[in-house]
């Protein structure tokens, strides 16, 4: 537990460590994992630190066995000594042993702290890694538009005739659309838009702006699509045409480290004061959402008092004034993870589990039913082929993409007529592995 707290830059005070050990050590009879989980909640530390237990599971298992055996040996020796009447307390050797054990523990702890601090000094690079990501989709870099396009009808035929897909992306919508260290517009939705433009056979031009401005330009026919972490809401569906959903989301909270314990729960009772949460997308705010959050943050039937307040952007929460005015930022967990990485003094907590879910959509300009049918069909295919999951792994989980198999060898195996026309026998040079029906359909 002390290492877990230090690991997230929230080192425990000596008194807190002692109190934690006094309550946790006797409770280990119920299992280390259960105790660690409970103490993480009591100390207000992120629950996902429980992964340290799983990573060190084998070591902890052996450590538990060794401690259990040592305890049995000591108990057996004490019982035998008491039985033969040779159990006597030697004060000086006992005191010397206790002092030696305390000195060794303090020395090792102090030495380990210094060694780890020196080894990990200035080693936090997760924010640099996130901001250094570039597009994982091939093709030309999208052009950026500084001013609005002239108004024009939004139809599939017009887009292909114009040769340009006019797309607006929400500003500072990490990880859906944002600027990397090179100043390029990148992100989950930017890559998805690149794939769409490639499928249409047109160029992609992007316009970055606040969401309200993009909505106004979409209504005036100056944009074909608006993307960048747009969540599906009833109000948004009334005022704009929406695509089908392509990514499920789960709402969570980004909070400062000192407020994790209060909002995460544990042995804490629900806060008696009103909890003020900032929300960048004001269309999410509703009485029903506030009621659900109040129930999730409360305990034993007692609801917490929650107020949702709209803000101009997520970055407003991380200012000095924002930290003073709000207890947390309500965002999708998929976006909050990146925000907590960029701002190391904050933590992503998930007190709602999967109870508060949402979906990503695109806002579509015009009223062309053909364009919407094409767009929804294309998104469905991207989902079925696993390409949306690839983007999720890359931009949110920060996992490298697996190389896709090259279809050249499979093409030889399933296109013998081409080889006959070229003067060959029509037989492949070797027996290839059995291709899946989908792969065979692609290469034939």
Q: Enter the CATH code of domain 249-358.
A: 3.40.190.10
**Would you say 152 and 158 are in contact if contact means Cβ atoms under 8 Å apart?**
yes
Q: Compute mean pLDDT per 10 residues along the chain, 444 residues long, and list them.
A: 75 79 75 80 78 75 79 86 81 87 86 76 73 87 93 95 97 94 95 96 96 96 96 94 96 90 65 88 88 84 88 93 94 94 89 90 96 97 96 89 42 38 41 38 37
Tokens standing for 95? 């005191």
Cα separation, 171 vs 178, whole angstroms: 7
pLDDT at 434: 37
Beta-bridge partners for 347? 255
pLDDT at 411: 38
Cα separation, 33 vs 313, whole angstroms: 39
Could you tell me the pTM of the whole model? 0.70
Cα separation, 328 vs 258, whole angstroms: 11
| Half-sphere exposure for 77 (CA within 13 Å, toward CB) | 7
Please report, in angstroms and rounded to a whole number, the separation of the first and last CA atoms in the chain. Answer: 58
Q: In what order do the strands lie in the sheet with 363-364?
A: 143-144, 203-209, 164-170, 225-227, 363-364, 241-242
Angle at 186 between CA 183 and CA 187, to 5 degrees: 145
C-alpha torsion 112→113→116→118, nearest 10: -120
List the chain domain ranges. 2-119, 130-246+361-395, 249-358, 408-443
Phi, psi of 366 (to 5 degrees): 70, -170
Q: What is the 3-state secondary structure (H, E, C) of 6-67?
A: HHCCCCCCHHHHHHHHHHHHHHHHHCHHHHHHHHHHHCCCCHHHHHHHHHCHHHHHHHHHHH
Tokens standing for 24? 């946790």
CATH superfamily for 130-246+361-395 is: Periplasmic binding protein-like II (3.40.190.10)
Q: Tokens 């976006």 identify what position? A: 335
**Would you say 195 and 385 are in contact if contact means Cβ atoms under 8 Å apart?**
no
List of residues 6+ apart from 346 with CB closer than 8 A: 254, 255, 256, 257, 318, 339, 340
pLDDT at 246: 97
- Domain 130-246+361-395 matches domain 249-358 at the CATH topology level: yes
- For residue 64, what are the CA distances in angstroms to 21, 166, 181? 16, 62, 47
């Amino acid at each position: 537990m002390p290492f877990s707290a230090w690991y997230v830059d929230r080192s425990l005070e000596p008194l807190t460590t002692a109190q934690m050990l006094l309550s946790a050590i006797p409770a280990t009879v119920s299992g280390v994992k259960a105790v660690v989980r409970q103490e993480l909640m009591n100390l207000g530390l992120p629950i996902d630190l429980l992964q340290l237990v799983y990573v060190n599971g084998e070591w902890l298992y052996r450590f538990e066995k060794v401690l259990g055996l040592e305890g049995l040996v000591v108990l057996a020796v004490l019982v035998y000594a008491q039985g033969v009447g040779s159990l006597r307390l030697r004060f000086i050797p006992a005191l010397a042993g206790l002092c030696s054990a305390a000195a060794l523990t303090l020395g090792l702890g102090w030495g380990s702290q210094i060694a780890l601090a020196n080894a990990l000094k200035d080693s936090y690079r997760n924010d640099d890694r996130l901001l250094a990501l570039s597009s994982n989709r091939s093709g030309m870099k999208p052009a950026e538009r500084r001013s609005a396009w002239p108004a024009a009808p939004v139809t599939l035929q017009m887009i292909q005739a114009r040769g340009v897909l006019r797309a607006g992306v929400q500003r500072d919508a990490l990880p859906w659309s944002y600027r990397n260290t090179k100043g390029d517009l990148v992100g989950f939705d930017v890559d998805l838009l690149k794939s769409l433009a490639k499928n249409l056979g047109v160029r992609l031009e992007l316009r970055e702006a606040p969401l309200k401005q993009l909505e106004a330009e979409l209504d005036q026919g100056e944009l074909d699509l608006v993307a960048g972490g747009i969540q599906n809401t009833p109000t948004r569906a009334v005022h704009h045409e929406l695509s089908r959903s392509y990514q499920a989301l789960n709402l969570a909270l980004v909070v400062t480290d000192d407020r994790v314990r209060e909002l995460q729960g544990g042995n804490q009772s629900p806060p008696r004061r009103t909890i003020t949460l900032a929300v960048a997308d004001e269309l999410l705010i509703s009485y029903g959402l506030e009621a659900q959050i109040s129930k999730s943050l409360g305990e034993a039937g007692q609801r917490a008092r929650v107020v949702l307040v709209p803000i101009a952007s997520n970055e407003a929460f991380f200012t000095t004034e924002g930290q003073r005015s709000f207890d947390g930022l309500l965002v999708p967990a998929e976006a909050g993870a990146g925000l907590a990485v960029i701002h190391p003094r904050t933590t992503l907590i998930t007190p709602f589990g999967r109870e508060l879910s949402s979906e990503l959509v695109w806002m579509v300009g015009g009223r062309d039913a053909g364009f919407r049918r094409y767009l929804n069909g294309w998104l469905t295919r991207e989902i079925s082929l696993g390409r949306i999951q690839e983007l999720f792994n890359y931009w949110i989980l920060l996992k490298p993409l697996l190389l896709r198999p090259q279809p050249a060898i499979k093409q030889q195996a399933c296109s013998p007529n081409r080889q006959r026309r070229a003067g060959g026998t029509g037989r492949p040079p070797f027996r290839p592995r059995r291709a899946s029906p989908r792969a065979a359909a692609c290469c034939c």
